[in-house]
Amino acid sequence: MSIDGLLRARRDAARRLIAENPVEVKITQTTFVVDGAGGRMEQTHSPASFVGRLLPTRLALRQLQDEAGARQAKEWLLLAPSDVVVHAGDSRFVVAGVTYRIKEVVPRRYRGEIYVQHIVLEGVT
């Protein structure tokens, strides 16, 4: 099988995996811009929506500690198509009443070409 054939096979396998249990994802990204009066303004925008697949990575809640104090969170993985543009940080989306925050985007590559994206999520409570 050629390199193009292997890449196509990996993309097809990712599409089939997503199609087994698809969810509609519409991400809301928040950015802050200078308001000209010494402060900042919050701007939100929603890039195009896409279909992905949510998978739990840990069944138990993780105990986290940050400057706001202790909290619990559940980690998830979102499989996304190779052509989706997603950024970690202040990006969130809601599926079935649960809000997820994007922690990290890991493009999976074969010979330099992306065939699927693994998006590490945190369930926000």
Residue extents of the structural domains in the chain: 3-124
List per-residue pLDDT tens for the chain, 125 residues long: 676 888 899 999 999 999 999 999 998 888 788 888 888 888 888 877 899 999 988 666 666 666 767 766 788 999 999 998 888 877 888 888 888 889 899 999 998 999 999 999 988 76
Q: Which fold has domain 3-124?
A: Thrombin, subunit H (2.40.10)
Chain position carrying tokens 């992306």: 114
DSSP sequence for 31-93: EEEE-SSSSEEEEEE----EEEEEEES-SSPEEEEETTEEEEEEEEEEEE-TT----SSSEEE
User: What pLDDT score was predicted for residue 86?
Assistant: 85
pTM confidence score: 0.79
